[in-house]
Amino acid sequence: MKKIYVLFASFLFLFVNLVGDEFSDKIAVEESKLQVLREELKEAAKKTEDLIKSERNILEKISRIDEEFLLTQRLLKALKNKENIISEEIDKTERVINVLSERKKARSEILNRRLRAIYKKGRMQAIEIILTAKTFTDAIKRFEYLTIIAEQDKKIFNELVALKNELEAKKQFLRTNLDEMKKINVEAEKETTFLSSKKREKQEMLESIQKQRVQQEQLTKELRASALKIEALIDKLEKERRERERREGAKNYFEKVIGEIKWPVKGEIISTFGNQVNPKYGTTVKNNGIDIKAPLGTPVHAVAKGKVVYNDRFLGYGNVVLVDHGKGYYTLYAHLQDIKVNLKDIVEKDQVVGSVGDTGSLEGPKLHFELRKNGKPVDPIPFLKKSR
């Protein structure tokens, strides 16, 4: 049983030393990510501060607050990743400390027994053992045995010293990582408070808009301008699509599946296609799609196969994914919390492209969904299944 324990202890000791460099590399990578996020957050905060001083650019202010909010969420996630890596390493280190302590204890007991024996027998014991030999050959053998014992004693002593040093190094490593965990928790607590403040700031801004007619008019202008910009983007993509399909050809999908398309997300329709008056802000703008209220983080699915031609923030729309389905058909998914696809990705029907969020939204978590034909908005309701 002792042999098995010694073998296990040696293996664990060797394993922890081998993964030490890997741990350092992981921490370096996570810290690098954190530094980038901290710099991005600092830059976003400065831009937000500059905009807050201005009475204009309401959507830009909302967009900047959303950006800070999302960056802070990513920072908290990165801090959690670093915390998990350190926590795992702390657990390993504590196990190694226990193993080293047991080995040190065992070696100390052996060495103490030898020292007590030497003390009891006295320094003349070795000479007496050699002199009481009956033959010269016997004396030589006894001398060799004493030499082996002495070397073993020296080896045990050296190992004990090495174990003490290694044990102290591991304890220091443990203390350092425990201190790092405390720093992470302090930073995470600070960022969590900041997150709450950004959420409150956005809510207060939206409530302020409801009470001020001038801001409502400004918001209406900005919403219309944003709608025109996204139309310009789709028009540009549509021209490129026509030229590409003129050369390559394409299948017409949507006209074959009218009334059969699965909904991008389950929820309540809070705004339909066409001109809409927002009762909260008094804004009248044309809705180029529909708005579906759903819980924050709900997966959003592509309604058909297509190619991702845009996946970024867009003023007034928050995080946007735009999918080109060919033959002039596009679908747009806006106000996403996060984006799950990359530019130029080919997405399959029902594939998750993001999740429901409130980026750029004036009404909390929702999905803004549009269907475009030849660049022009069409009501998506007739294309969607009656049952959700």
pLDDT tens-digit readout, 68-116: 888 888 888 888 888 888 888 878 777 777 776 777 777 667 666 665 5
Confidence of residue 387 (pLDDT cuts 50, 70, 90): low
Pick the closest to residue 328 from 263, 269, 266, 241 (CA basis): 241
Domain boundary residue among 194, 211, 228?
211
Domain residues for the domain of 351 are 213-383
- Sign of CA pseudo-dihedral 317, 321, 325, 328: positive
Let me know whether 235 and 373 are in one domain. yes
Let me know whether 246 and 371 are in one domain. yes
Domain boundary residue among 186, 211, 236?
211
Confidence (pLDDT) at 351: 95
Let me know whether 121 and 244 are in one domain. no
Is residue 139 situated within a structural domain?
yes
Average pLDDT over the chain reads: 75
Number of domains in the chain: 2
Mean of the pLDDT values across residues 184-206? 79
Let me know whether 200 and 221 are in one domain. no
Is residue 272 situated within a structural domain?
yes
Phi-psi region of 360 (alpha: psi -120 to 50; beta: other; left: phi over 0): left
The DSSP call for residue 357 is B
CATH number for the domain including 290? 2.70.70.10
Is residue 340 situated within a structural domain?
yes
Is residue 379 situated within a structural domain?
yes
Domain boundary residue among 211, 236, 265?
211
Let me know whether 150 and 243 are in one domain. no
State how far the Cα of 90 lies from the Cα of 163, in Å rounded to an integer: 19
Residue 234: HSE in the Cβ half-sphere, 13 Å Cα cutoff: 28
269 is written with which tokens?
A: 């329709």
Let me know whether 185 and 218 are in one domain. no
Is residue 63 situated within a structural domain?
yes
pLDDT in tens, 104-159: 777 667 666 665 555 555 554 555 554 565 666 755 665 565 566 556 666 766 67
Contact 122, 168 (CB under 8 A): no
Is the pTM higher than 0.95? The answer reads: no
